Amino acid sequence: MKLIKKEDLPGLYGYLASAGKKIFAPVRKNGMVSFSFTSAFEEIEMSYIQTKLSAKAAAFPKIEKLMKYTIQKEGQSYEPYDVEKFPGIVVWGAHPCDAAAFHPLNAVFTWETHDKYFTRRMENLLIIGLSCTSHDEFCFCTSVGVHPGDTKGSDIQLTPLPGGDYLAEIITTKGEAVAAAVPALFSPAPGLNKEELVTSVEKRFDHEALHAKINGMFDHPVWKEQALRCIGCGACTYVCPICSCFDIQDEGGIFGGLRYRCWDSCGFGHFTIHTSGHNPRESQDTRWRQRLMHKFSYQPQRQEVFGCVGCGRCSRNCPVDMNISEHLTQIMAV
Amino acid sequence: MNKLKEKAKELLSSGAVQVVVGYEEGTGGKIRPAFVSRPEDADKLLYNADCHHNLALYLYKHETKRIGKMAVVAPPFVLRSILILTTEFQLEEDSLVVLGVTPEEELIEFANFKEIETWVNQHPIGMKEKDREMLNRLNAMSRDERWQFWQNEFSKCIKCFACRGTCPMCSCFRCTVDYNAPQWISVGSHQLGNFDWHLMRAMHLAGRCSVCGQCGEACPMDIPVHLLSFQINEDIFKMFGSRAGLTLKKESLLSTWKSNDVENFIR
Ligand code: SF4
Ligand code: SF4
Ligand code: SF4
Ligand code: SF4
**From B57, B183, B189, residue closest to A262, measured CB to CB:** B189
Is residue B259 predicted with pLDDT exceeding 90? no
Lowest pLDDT segment from A60-69, B194-203, B240-249: B240-249
Span B227-231, average pLDDT: 97
**From B35, B165, B174, residue closest to A233, measured CB to CB:** B165
| Residue A262 C-alpha, separation from nearest chain B C-alpha, in angstroms | 6
Query: Residue B25 contacts by C-beta under 8 Å, 6 or more apart in sequence?
Result: B31, B32, B44, B46
Which one-letter amino acid corresponds to residue A85?
K
The answer, yes or no, to whether any atom of ligand 2 lies below 6 A from the CB of A322, is: yes
Cα(A87)–Cα(A91) distance, rounded to whole angstroms?
Answer: 13
Cβ(A23)–Cβ(A38) below 8 Å: yes
Residue closest to B62 by CA, chosen among A320, A276, A266, A232: A232
Cα(B227)–Cα(B244) distance, rounded to whole angstroms?
Answer: 15
Span B22-36, average pLDDT: 97
| Residue A322 C-alpha, separation from nearest chain B C-alpha, in angstroms | 9
The answer, yes or no, to whether any atom of ligand 2 lies below 6 A from the CB of A326, is: no
Q: How far is CA B99 from the centre of its chain?
A: 17
Which residue of A lies nearest to B179 if distances are taken between CA atoms?
A270
Contact assignment for A138 to B188 by CB distance below 8 Å? no
pTM over 0.90: yes
Q: Which residue has the higher pLDDT, A8 or B253?
A: A8
Cα(B84)–Cα(B197) distance, rounded to whole angstroms?
Answer: 23
Residue whose Cα lies nearest atom 2 of ligand 4: it is: B219
- What does the pLDDT read at residue B53? 98
Contacts of A260 in chain B (CB under 8 A): 188
The answer, yes or no, to whether any atom of ligand 1 lies below 6 A from the CB of A108, is: no
Chain segment A212-229, per-residue pLDDT in tens: 999 999 999 999 999 999
Residue closest to A156 by CA, chosen among A184, A128, A122, A176: A128
The answer, yes or no, to whether any atom of ligand 1 lies below 6 A from the CB of A292, is: no
Which residue of A lies nearest to B166 if distances are taken between CA atoms?
A231
- What does the pLDDT read at residue A289? 98
Residue whose Cα lies nearest atom 1 of ligand 3: it is: B209
- What does the pLDDT read at residue B165? 97
Total residues belonging to chain B: 267
Integer angstrom CA distances of residue A158 from A5, A96, A250, A277, B6: 11, 10, 42, 52, 55
Contacts of B31 in chain A (CB under 8 A): 321
Q: Where residue A123 falls among pLDDT bands split at 50, 70, 90?
A: very high
| Residue B56 C-alpha, separation from nearest chain A C-alpha, in angstroms | 12
Of all helices (H) and strands (E), which one includes residue B254?
Answer: none
Delimit the domains of chain A by residue range: 2-333
Span A262-269, average pLDDT: 95
Query: From ligand 1's centre to the CA of A293, what distance in Å?
Result: 13
Q: DSSP strand E in chain A: where?
A: 2-4, 22-29, 32-38, 63-72, 75-80, 89-94, 125-130, 156-160, 166-170, 186-188, 246-253, 256-263
Query: Residue B38 contacts by C-beta under 8 Å, 6 or more apart in sequence?
Result: B12
Laid out side by side, the sheet with A166-170 consists of A32-38, A22-29, A89-94, A125-130, A156-160, A166-170, A2-4, A186-188
Cβ–Cβ contact A247 with B under 8 A: yes
Contact assignment for B221 to A137 by CB distance below 8 Å? no
End-to-end CA distance of chain A: 45
Is residue B242 predicted with pLDDT exceeding 90? no
Which one-letter amino acid corresponds to residue B213?
G
Span A132-136, average pLDDT: 97
- What does the pLDDT read at residue B182? 83
Considering chain B, what is the average pLDDT of its residues?
94
CA atoms within 13 A on the CB side of B267: 1
Cα(B7)–Cα(B42) distance, rounded to whole angstroms?
Answer: 9
Contacts of A251 in chain B (CB under 8 A): 186, 188
Cβ(B163)–Cβ(B218) below 8 Å: yes
The answer, yes or no, to whether any atom of ligand 2 lies below 6 A from the CB of A266, is: no
Chain segment B197-216, per-residue pLDDT in tens: 999 999 999 999 999 999 99
* φ, ψ dihedrals at A25, nearest 5°: -140, 160
Is residue B267 predicted with pLDDT exceeding 80? no
**From B31, B63, B218, residue closest to A285, measured CB to CB:** B63
**From B35, B186, B187, residue closest to A229, measured CB to CB:** B35
Contact assignment for B62 to A283 by CB distance below 8 Å? yes
Residue closest to B21 by CA, chosen among A204, B3, B160, B54: B54
Is residue A144 predicted with pLDDT exceeding 80? yes
Residue closest to A316 by CA, chosen among B53, B23, B49, B28: B28
In the three-class reduction of DSSP (H, G, I as helix; E, B as strand; rest coil), residue A66 is classed as strand
Q: Where residue A295 falls among pLDDT bands split at 50, 70, 90?
A: very high
Contact assignment for A263 to B187 by CB distance below 8 Å? no
Contact assignment for B158 to A228 by CB distance below 8 Å? no
CA atoms within 13 A on the CB side of A126: 27
Is residue B265 predicted with pLDDT exceeding 80? no
Q: Which residue has the higher pLDDT, A254 or A203?
A: A203
The answer, yes or no, to whether any atom of ligand 1 lies below 6 A from the CB of A168, is: no
- What does the pLDDT read at residue B153? 96
ipTM, interface predicted TM-score of the complex: 0.95
Query: From ligand 4's centre to the CA of B165, what distance in Å?
Result: 10
Contacts of A263 in chain B (CB under 8 A): 158, 189
**From B27, B158, B189, residue closest to A137, measured CB to CB:** B27
